[in-house]
Structure 1
Amino acid sequence: MKIDLSAKTALVTASTAGIGLAIARGLAECGAEVIINGRSQASVNRAIQQLQQSLPGVTLRAAIADLSSPDGVETLLNSAPQVDILVNNAGIYGPRGFYDTDDATWDHYWQTNVMSGVRLSRALLPTMVQNGWGRVVFISSESACNIPADMIHYGVTKTAQLSLARGLAKFVAGSGVTVNSVLPGPTLSAGFTAMLEEEVAHRGKSLEEAARDFVMTHRPSSVIQRPATVEEVANMVVYVCSTQASATSGAALRVDGGVVDDII
């Protein structure tokens, strides 16, 4: 299968590292012009330089904005008023006890993980519908289905993304625009790797061994029995953004290694 996204413009939020950067790379490899978003000029410049070194000739644009507020989203939209592909990857996570999670924390997670996608979709979908083609993808999580007891605030926002994506898919039904969710499980991103550094340093394990042990301890239902790579997650997203995926809309597509014990 050859995925050709030339003449398409893609916005990937929070695309300076990890899954977001891998998605940006995958879309650029398929010929899309990719808008790289991050909260600082330095992080965006670093990501663009990295992509240009590995993919000479790709077309990239910078969009510096913090999407945790309406003003930040508006700043981003000033740089990217019209796109063909929107990947809502911006999000935050972190464990915290339910009793210790105050209203301000709940609101911060909601604004960043949910409302950023609401605001960007509301602004960018009309042109996609008018053009008769577009792709919107929400990067959710297996935590949307398998709510972690130590991150209830995070899990709730990931579940909300599934509802949002499904509702938007029905809202634009028949327009040629698709809206889907992709649900990664444990993924060997920079943040996940950093979390394992102490175990690697003090217990003499390789990163691969530590990552596999983490998955089998904390996600024992995993079928692949290891974390996914960021490229494996990006592969699913790139496919969903392709013309070949035109019959896939309103779906929640898991790249969780089988962690969620469900046959549907």
Structure 2
Amino acid sequence: MRIDLTDKTALVTGSTQGIGRAIAATLADAGARVAINGRSADGVEATIAELRGENGERDLVAAPGDVTDAEGATAVLAATGDVDILINNLGIFGSAPALDIDDDEWRRYFEVNVLAAVRLIRETLPGMTGRGWGRILNIASDSAIVIPAEMIHYGMSKTALLAVSRGFAKEAAGTGVTVNSVIAGPTHTGGVEKFVYELVDERLPWDEAQREFMRTHRPQSLLQRLIEPEEIANMVAYLSSPLASATTGAAVRVDGGYVDAIVP
């Protein structure tokens, strides 16, 4: 099975680190022209330099900007050009007692994790349907299904992404464009390391802290370890390819068996 994304342009939001960076690298290695996005132009350029240092054949373009507002999204899309593959990866997360989450925080999670994705889909889907081919993927989370007590505002936003994906898949029905969400399980990123240490003893070495986190806060995981970003990226690359032409409106799990269900 060979994933070939030659002549396709992909936009990966929030791709200067973590899962987004891994997705960008994997899509570029499959032949796509990949737009790297982040709020900081310097950060975007630094990431591009790193990615090219790993593989000089990667076709990368800088698309800095804040996609959580309309003006920033417009600038990012202008830098990218026609988008064939849209990966809505940008997201925020954090723990908070449920009754301490105020209205502004609820709105912030919705605007960043949901509305930013909706805005980009609204702007790119017509072009994809007009060309008769496209892929839209929203990076969701196991928290969309198993709502964590310590961050229900985050879980709410990821549940909404599942609905957004299913709804826009219906909008794109019969056009050659597929819209899916990817349910990522607990994944090893810099941000997650910080989150883990918010919940377990910060004096523990990382390997012990990770095991303690999985044992006490994510005991449902069948993998019994954090997922590496490249493992998420592999599924995204497949769903972004022509090989996944019959998969649309789906919530595809890369969760290490965390969600205790036969179907999503």
Which SS does the other structure have where 1:253 is aligned? strand
SS in 2 for 1:140: strand
**Structure 1 residues 150 and 236: alpha-carbon distance in aligned structure 2, compared to 1, 3 A threshold:** same
Query: Which residue number in structure 2 is paired with residue 99 of structure 1?
Result: 99
Alpha carbons 1:140, 1:184 under 8 Å: kept: yes
Residues 1-264 of structure 1 mapped to structure 2, 5 A cutoff: 1-196=1-196, 202-203=203-204, 205=205, 207-264=206-263
Alpha-carbon contact 2:94-2:195 (below 8 Å) kept: no
Given the superposition, is the C-alpha separation of residues 201 and 115 from structure 1 closer, same or farther in structure 2, using an over 3 Å criterion? closer
Identity %: 50
Deviations 1:221-249, CA, capped at 9 Å, x for gaps: 11111110000011111110011011110
Question: Which residue identity is paired with 1:129?
Answer: T
Letter of the structure 1 residue corresponding to residue 215 of structure 2: M
Shift of 1:6: 0.7
Partner Cα separation in structure 2 for residue 255 and residue 44 of structure 1? 27
How many Å apart are 1:129 and its aligned residue? 0.5
Q: TM-score, normalised by structure 2?
A: 0.95
* C-alpha distance in 2 between matches for 1:161 and 1:23: 18
RMSD of aligned alpha carbons: 1.5
1:200 positional shift: 8.5
Q: Pick closer, same or farther for the CA change 1:184–1:57 going to 2, 3 Å.
A: same
SS at match of 1:94: coil
Please say if residues 34 and 60 of structure 2, whose CA atoms lie closer than 8 Å, have aligned partners that are also in contact: yes
C-alpha deviation, 1:201, in angstroms: 7.0
Aligned-partner Cα distance in 2 for 1:67–1:33 = 19
Following superposition, the deviation at residue 107 of structure 1 comes to 1.3
Letter in 1 for 2:203: H
The 1:197–1:54 alpha-carbon spacing in structure 2 relative to 1, beyond 3 Å, is farther
What TM-score do you get using the length of structure 1 for normalisation? 0.95
User: Structure 1 stretches (4+) deviating beyond 2 angstroms?
Assistant: 193-203, 207-210
Question: Residues 2-42 of structure 1: CA distance to partner in whole angstroms, max 9, x if unpaired?
Answer: 10101000000000000000000000000000000000012
Counterpart secondary structure, 1:129: helix
For structure 2, list consecutive stretches of 5 or more residues without a partner in the other structure.
none
- Give the whole-Å Cα distance in 2 for the aligned partners of 1:69 and 1:108: 12
Amino acid at match of 2:151: M
CA contact (8 A) 1:13 1:38 kept: yes
Aligned length: 262
CA–CA distance in structure 2, aligned partners of residues 212 and 254 of structure 1: 22
Report the CA distance between 1:196 and its aligned residue: 4.7
Question: Relative to 1, partners in 2 of residues 1:211 and 1:112: Cα closer, same or farther, differing over 3 Å?
Answer: same
Write the letter of the residue equivalent to 2:134.
Answer: G
Give the Å deviation of 1:127: 0.9
Q: Which amino acid aligns with 2:138?
A: F
SS at 2:63 equivalent? strand
Partners of 1:95 and 1:150 within 8 A in 2: yes
1:202 corresponds to which letter in structure 2? R
SS in structure 1 at match of 2:93: coil
Give the superposition deviation at 1:209.
3.6
